[in-house]
Structure 1
């Protein structure tokens, strides 16, 4: 079923022009990502002096180099004015929540289109789901950032307490990124589960989420290699090259999120088709069996 669902998802994605919806989501992503970066770096910087640098090192592994220049510039500007970190964190938090909730709303509409449904929930229920989902996803994203940035310090402190600092740090280095990966899959699955009007069990959303995250990692690495070795964005766009690369990367991110949703929808359609065909086949077989068995019973009765 997985292979058929993947092929069907690719066909549906192409025929429905989901890349257009991904472009709209990219717009809201741009509005929300920089306030979120300001909030995250402000909070993490207050918790651990070197945490921000470690967080950026982790982000650098999946974000194209030209895109990192934009993020690092914003972070450097914040770190040069530490006295305003608290105020910027509050302003950034408000801006991030507003922009992220708009992204969630647009993503919800896109998922409804994937499912072929119109919004059936009351407007106030939509608003509640939108706000709650934004807060939950924001908290989980913050948890990912904290795990990536401050986990080593926590592991070292625990290791010092039990007399095995080096071992604790080594073990943490092994398990840190798998933990972050699982958290990211949970975030995407929550979006697939709660955002659309069509509600399916969480476990039915997880396969598409895992596929989307895996595709995002592969696409990010390949796009980074392309930009580093073959791309000519700097020559073509000059100082705007980094901005263009960043926007394309965000578009790729939103595209794979929508593809993961298409995969779930295709898997749902495949399972529903199978569940309908199976009873029909059983009924047909039972009818044929009954038709064949009738005369036999009659002949047996005559013999008696």
Structure 2
């Protein structure tokens, strides 16, 4: 009994150490800062992400409709017409955004990534790992590299979102002969196809979320971190966000409808709450990677 208790305690010890690190470094405040910069960067992020998708697919009205439905859960209805006009105008341009407009969007959209990057440096190295070692040219180069990393990550996330939507549209139907054989031999399995399709969608979303989380954790720190050290955090982030999306998606939609009576403020409150939760989960995932890597490497 004591051996089983010790084994269970040893397995959960990294989670406890990660929670202590999360609390000690003020990750709740870091998540609030991430939510603020995300609100500031929301429209540029959506425009750039949709421009990548439009560059690959062209005008996909069905995808735009799905994009609009997903925004209904977090944005007030009063703001949707303005956002829709901006998105449709952006897609209708044959060459995408102009160079000057794209530069402005990149600078604005990368602020949320920079907030996460500073938080990652604070967790891994308790501050800027290059403090006091860089000239002004090096600092400018670092800022440019961070914004380019933010753009690359946004492009990859857009591709993963596109892949998730495309895979979700593919119906997984069994051949007619198989269906007839099942209906005659095992009739109680006739209604299993829809749950299986839903399970496949969840698995695909979980895999893509893991890939996105691993890419995010690899690009956030200013210095190189071994990708194997980031696997526990990426698995945690992907699992928790996928479960929260399934469990809280409807609740957030109902909250959005309830707070629409308060206008734009209500939509901003609901969206800020969701982004804060995402930021807190991402920071805890990083803390979990740090806790497990330090346990393997020694104190």
Residues 218 and 230 in structure 2, CA contact (< 8 A), matched pair in contact too? yes
- Matching residue within 260, 266, 269 for 2:291: 266
Residues 64 and 245 in structure 1, CA contact (< 8 A), matched pair in contact too? no
CA spacing shift, 1:80–1:102, aligned 2, 3 Å? closer
Residues 32 and 99 in structure 1, CA contact (< 8 A), matched pair in contact too? yes
* Aligned equivalent of 2:214: 189
Partners in 2 of 1:68 and 1:176 — Cα distance?
28
* Aligned equivalent of 1:120: 129
- Matching residue within 210, 228, 243 for 2:235: 210
Structure number with greater CO (CA < 8 Å, separation at least 6) is: 2
TM-score by length of 1: 0.67
Partners in 2 of 1:70 and 1:210 — Cα distance?
37
* Aligned equivalent of 1:147: 163
Deviation at 1:2, TM superposition (A): 4.5
Partners in 2 of 1:255 and 1:182 — Cα distance?
21
Please show how residues 87-102 of structure 1 align to structure 2 within 5 Å: 89-90=97-98, 93-102=102-111
- Matching residue within 12, 19, 27 for 1:18: 27
Task: Tell me the number of residue pairs that the alignment of Structure 1 and Structure 2 aligns.
Answer: 255
1:6 aligns with 2:15: yes
* Aligned equivalent of 1:53: 65
Partners in 2 of 1:48 and 1:230 — Cα distance?
29
In terms of mean alpha carbon deviation, does 255-264 or 73-82 score higher? 73-82
Residues 52 and 149 in structure 1, CA contact (< 8 A), matched pair in contact too? no
In terms of mean alpha carbon deviation, does 5-14 or 223-232 score higher? 223-232
In terms of mean alpha carbon deviation, does 79-88 or 27-36 score higher? 79-88
User: What do you get for the CA RMSD once the two structures are aligned?
Assistant: 3.7
1:200 aligns with 2:209: no
Deviation at 1:6, TM superposition (A): 1.0
* Aligned equivalent of 1:37: 46
Partners in 1 of 2:107 and 2:244 — Cα distance?
28
Partners in 2 of 1:258 and 1:69 — Cα distance?
31
Structure 2, unaligned stretches of length 5 or more?
1-9, 172-193
Partners in 1 of 2:21 and 2:168 — Cα distance?
43
Bigger CA radius of gyration: 1
- Matching residue within 90, 96, 109 for 2:118: 109
Residues 232 and 289 in structure 2, CA contact (< 8 A), matched pair in contact too? yes
Deviation at 1:172, TM superposition (A): 9.9
- Between Structure 1 and Structure 2, the one with more helix by share is 1
1:59-93 CA-to-partner distances (Å, cap 9, x unmatched) read x3xx7824374774444223665796458844764
SS in 2 for 1:67: coil
Partners in 2 of 1:83 and 1:194 — Cα distance?
28
- Matching residue within 241, 245, 252 for 2:277: 252
